[in-house]
Amino acid sequence: MKRGDIYRADLDPVVGSEQGGVRPVVIIQNDTGNLYSPTVIVAAMTTRRKKAHLPIHVPVSADESGLNRDSVVLTEQVRTLEKSRLTKRLGRLCPEAMRRLDRALVLSLGTQVRENGTPENSDSL
Protein backbone atom coordinates (compact mmCIF):
# COMPACT_ATOMS: atom_id res chain seq x y z
CA MET A 1 0.00 0.00 0.00
CA LYS A 2 1.67 3.20 -1.24
CA ARG A 3 0.85 6.88 -1.59
CA GLY A 4 -0.89 7.33 -4.94
CA ASP A 5 -2.44 3.86 -4.99
CA ILE A 6 -6.14 3.71 -5.77
CA TYR A 7 -8.32 1.28 -3.83
CA ARG A 8 -12.00 0.40 -3.74
CA ALA A 9 -13.35 1.44 -0.33
CA ASP A 10 -16.64 1.27 1.51
CA LEU A 11 -17.22 4.81 2.82
CA ASP A 12 -20.56 4.13 4.52
CA PRO A 13 -21.93 5.17 6.91
CA VAL A 14 -21.84 8.88 6.10
CA VAL A 15 -23.44 12.06 7.38
CA GLY A 16 -24.75 14.91 5.25
CA SER A 17 -22.66 15.78 2.19
CA GLU A 18 -19.87 13.26 2.81
CA GLN A 19 -19.08 11.01 -0.16
CA GLY A 20 -20.41 7.56 0.56
CA GLY A 21 -20.90 4.13 -0.87
CA VAL A 22 -18.34 1.82 -2.40
CA ARG A 23 -16.06 3.94 -4.56
CA PRO A 24 -12.43 4.49 -5.52
CA VAL A 25 -10.19 6.42 -3.13
CA VAL A 26 -6.60 7.52 -3.58
CA ILE A 27 -4.13 7.13 -0.74
CA ILE A 28 -2.62 10.51 0.22
CA GLN A 29 -0.91 9.46 3.46
CA ASN A 30 2.89 9.14 3.50
CA ASP A 31 4.37 5.69 2.96
CA THR A 32 5.77 5.39 6.50
CA GLY A 33 2.28 5.87 7.89
CA ASN A 34 0.94 3.44 5.31
CA LEU A 35 3.39 0.81 6.51
CA TYR A 36 2.87 1.11 10.27
CA SER A 37 -0.56 2.60 10.93
CA PRO A 38 -3.78 0.55 11.08
CA THR A 39 -5.48 3.49 9.36
CA VAL A 40 -4.87 5.31 6.09
CA ILE A 41 -5.66 8.84 4.89
CA VAL A 42 -7.48 8.94 1.55
CA ALA A 43 -9.30 11.29 -0.80
CA ALA A 44 -12.55 10.13 -2.38
CA MET A 45 -12.92 9.91 -6.15
CA THR A 46 -15.93 10.28 -8.44
CA THR A 47 -16.65 9.68 -12.11
CA ARG A 48 -18.85 12.78 -12.28
CA ARG A 49 -16.62 14.93 -14.52
CA LYS A 50 -18.59 18.13 -13.90
CA LYS A 51 -16.97 18.13 -10.46
CA ALA A 52 -13.64 18.99 -12.12
CA HIS A 53 -14.29 22.73 -12.34
CA LEU A 54 -12.98 23.66 -8.88
CA PRO A 55 -9.24 24.10 -8.22
CA ILE A 56 -9.48 21.56 -5.38
CA HIS A 57 -10.82 18.90 -7.78
CA VAL A 58 -8.25 16.93 -9.76
CA PRO A 59 -9.37 15.44 -13.08
CA VAL A 60 -7.61 12.15 -13.77
CA SER A 61 -7.87 10.26 -17.05
CA ALA A 62 -8.20 6.49 -17.13
CA ASP A 63 -4.69 6.35 -18.64
CA GLU A 64 -3.28 8.29 -15.67
CA SER A 65 -4.89 6.07 -13.03
CA GLY A 66 -5.31 2.54 -14.35
CA LEU A 67 -9.06 2.82 -13.79
CA ASN A 68 -11.48 2.01 -16.59
CA ARG A 69 -13.08 5.50 -16.50
CA ASP A 70 -11.96 9.09 -16.22
CA SER A 71 -12.38 10.32 -12.65
CA VAL A 72 -12.00 13.30 -10.35
CA VAL A 73 -10.17 13.32 -7.00
CA LEU A 74 -12.15 15.36 -4.45
CA THR A 75 -9.62 16.92 -2.08
CA GLU A 76 -12.38 18.37 0.10
CA GLN A 77 -13.44 14.75 0.78
CA VAL A 78 -10.35 13.64 2.75
CA ARG A 79 -10.80 11.15 5.55
CA THR A 80 -9.03 8.59 7.67
CA LEU A 81 -10.15 5.00 7.16
CA GLU A 82 -9.45 1.72 8.86
CA LYS A 83 -7.42 -0.29 6.33
CA SER A 84 -10.06 -3.05 6.43
CA ARG A 85 -12.38 -0.67 4.50
CA LEU A 86 -10.05 -0.98 1.48
CA THR A 87 -11.15 -4.04 -0.46
CA LYS A 88 -9.19 -4.09 -3.72
CA ARG A 89 -6.32 -2.21 -5.36
CA LEU A 90 -7.65 -0.69 -8.58
CA GLY A 91 -4.73 1.32 -9.93
CA ARG A 92 -2.16 3.99 -9.24
CA LEU A 93 -1.89 7.68 -10.13
CA CYS A 94 0.92 8.56 -12.53
CA PRO A 95 3.56 11.09 -11.32
CA GLU A 96 1.95 14.02 -13.19
CA ALA A 97 -1.47 13.31 -11.67
CA MET A 98 0.18 13.10 -8.23
CA ARG A 99 1.75 16.55 -8.77
CA ARG A 100 -1.70 17.97 -9.60
CA LEU A 101 -3.15 16.23 -6.56
CA ASP A 102 -0.43 17.64 -4.29
CA ARG A 103 -1.15 21.19 -5.55
CA ALA A 104 -4.88 20.73 -4.97
CA LEU A 105 -4.25 19.40 -1.44
CA VAL A 106 -2.22 22.53 -0.62
CA LEU A 107 -5.20 24.65 -1.69
CA SER A 108 -7.80 22.50 0.04
CA LEU A 109 -5.92 22.19 3.34
CA GLY A 110 -4.47 25.72 3.34
CA THR A 111 -0.93 24.46 3.88
CA GLN A 112 0.95 26.94 1.69
CA VAL A 113 4.20 27.99 3.42
CA ARG A 114 5.89 31.39 3.10
CA GLU A 115 9.63 31.65 2.42
CA ASN A 116 10.23 32.35 6.14
CA GLY A 117 8.65 28.99 6.98
CA THR A 118 5.38 30.29 8.43
CA PRO A 119 2.05 29.11 7.05
CA GLU A 120 0.36 31.45 4.54
CA ASN A 121 -2.76 31.43 6.68
CA SER A 122 -0.95 32.01 10.01
CA ASP A 123 -2.31 35.58 10.19
CA SER A 124 -5.73 34.12 10.96
CA LEU A 125 -4.46 32.02 13.89
* Residue 61 is assigned to a structural domain of this protein: yes
Q: Decide: residue 38, CB within 10 A, 0-12 exposed, 13-18 middle, 19+ buried.
A: exposed
Overall number of domains in the chain: 1
CATH of residue 26's domain is: 2.30.30.110
* Residue 118 is assigned to a structural domain of this protein: no
pTM: 0.86
pLDDT at 119: 59
Q: Is the pLDDT of residue 124 over 70?
A: no
| Residues spanned by the domain of 50 | 5-109
Alpha-carbon distance of 123 to 35, in angstroms, equals: 35
* Residue 120 is assigned to a structural domain of this protein: no
Q: What is the mean pLDDT of residues 8-24?
A: 87
